[in-house]
Structure 1
Amino acid sequence: MQKKYLTATYYFDIESPEIQELIADYTLVPESEKIARLYLKVRDGWRYSPFNIGLTAKHFKASSIFRKNEAHCIDKSILYIAGLRALGIPARLRLAKVSNHIAVERLEKKLGTSEIAPHGLVEVYNNGKWVKCSPIFNKELCALYNVEPLDFDGSENAILQEYNSNDLKFMEYIEDYGSFKDVPLDFIKETFKNMYPSLYDVFKNENEITI
């Protein structure tokens, strides 16, 4: 039943040298440790940036993401999923709409709103159930905004923090778009176009931009 969430695709190119390098240190450790250790590597190894955006197939290819220093939420989710599948652990992409409530000035200036859509998450199949996680906010960013970094070992959900350590609203889920066995590029593009029509026009001439 979960076999389709283990397969390689254009986006989850799990046999590529880059993804094999990503998982090289975790192939011989217990499964629960694979989940936790790879999660930390993706969470902290690529700095989160909501401002680097691409809407091409190549942009969302796991091996291409691996070669970057920073990545968007969908990008980091794709990378973690590819690594999990390469380790034999079923994983899939989940998309949603979220709102950021802290340090939103630049985001609102660029996007025209504090809402981010689609936002990427990961679902991992472990111990007979699907568990959600967010390998997005690296620990340095969390420290900057006084938010506890999320840990994840596959035992329970670890999704975005609703409040920071000062009990200020941090992130809020607005809408759930469901789960996907592969990267739904057309859906991502259409959602982005509906959310940010003026910014979408920029992509007529540019495949990838930093806003």
Structure 2
Amino acid sequence: MNTYLSPSRFIDSDHPVVVEFAEKHRGTRPDLSDQAVSLYYAVREAIRYNPYTFSRDPNTLSASFALAAGESYCVPKATLLAACARHCGIPARIGLADVRNHLSTPRLLALLKSDVFAMHGYTELYLNGRWVKATPAFNQQLCEVFDVPPLEFDGLHDSVFHAFNRQGQRSMEYVVDHGQFADVPEAFFFGHIRQCYPHLFADDAPTLLGDMQSDLSRG
């Protein structure tokens, strides 16, 4: 279990900005489940979800980078939650899966040339003797735009994407589960993304600029 408590390259739980953030948001209750819940909501809301921040630079996967940027996508937000948890003595690891996204934007779908989001990231926390999934990706403001309830987390039950939005339309479905890892598996991560979206790795790859809320306001 020490592996899931120790700092690693991307889950840099010993980085000063991560330590400061974790201490600020862990709460005052001694129970680790309560601290995990507090950290979950802090990461979900403090770092705005923006898939256009994806970069081929591995350094952008780290927890400290997500904090410094103030916006990121699912994987760095998952590493940030894992890093904060490890700092607080909660074993944590990263999970990766391919998900079909039915509530994207036309611009993002055109950019990806697919409705499958490869390498969606989530966090697993070891609480009360078992691993529990937590997905701090979508902040509340973005969920409201898409009319999807923000994902809650109670430290007991898995928190994964809702299958349907409030109107009964399909929202997210998991297509492939790649498993869990002590840190983001860099070669596997980028290799699979390149396989799914080769055009994003071409010399003339489109520049990833913007955010989903701006996409919707244009529409």
TM-score bin, normalised by smaller chain: over 0.9
In 1: Cα distance, 2:96 partner to 2:23 partner = 28
The TM-score, its normalising length taken from structure 2, stands at 0.89
Pairs aligned (count): 208
Offset of 1:210 from its aligned partner? 3.4
- Supply the distance in 2 between the matched residues of 1:83 and 1:17 (Cα, whole angstroms): 11
Give the TM-score normalised by the residue count of structure 1. 0.93
Matched ranges for 1:30-179 at <5 A: 30-179=31-180
Q: Are residues 100 and 16 of structure 1, via their aligned partners in 2, closer, same or farther at CA, if it must alter by over 3 Å? A: same
The gaps in structure 1 that reach 5 residues or longer are: none
**Cα distance, 1:203–1:120 mapped onto 2, change above 3 Å:** farther
What's the counterpart of residue 23 of structure 2?
24
Partner SS, residue 37 of structure 2: helix
Q: Structure 2 regions of 5+ residues with no counterpart?
A: 211-219
RMSD (Å) for aligned C-alpha atoms = 1.8
Cα shift readout 1:58-85 (whole Å, capped 9, x = no counterpart): 1112111110121011010011100000
Residues 127-154 of structure 1 show CA distances to partners (whole Å, capped at 9, x for unaligned) of 1111112111100011111111111122
Structure 1 match to 2:214: none
Residue aligned with 1:67, SS: helix
Q: Is the 8 A contact 2:47 2:66 kept in 1?
A: no
| Contact 1:53–1:210 (Cα < 8 Å) also in 2 | no
d(CA) in 2 for partners of 1:194, 1:54:
15
Q: Does the 8 Å CA contact 1:192/1:200 hold for their aligned counterparts?
A: no
More helix by share: 2
Q: Would you identify which runs of 4 or more consecutive aligned residues in structure 1 move more than 6 Å? A: none
- Residue in 2 aligned with 1:11? 10
* Percent of paired sites with the same residue: 33
Q: What SS class does the counterpart of residue 95 from structure 2 fall into?
A: strand
Q: Distance in 2 between matches of 1:17 and 1:27?
A: 18
2:217 counterpart residue number: none
Shift of the 102–6 alpha-carbon distance from structure 1 to 2, 3 Å rule, reads same
Deviation at 1:183, TM superposition (A): 1.3
Structure 1 contact 47–71 (Cα < 8 Å) conserved? yes
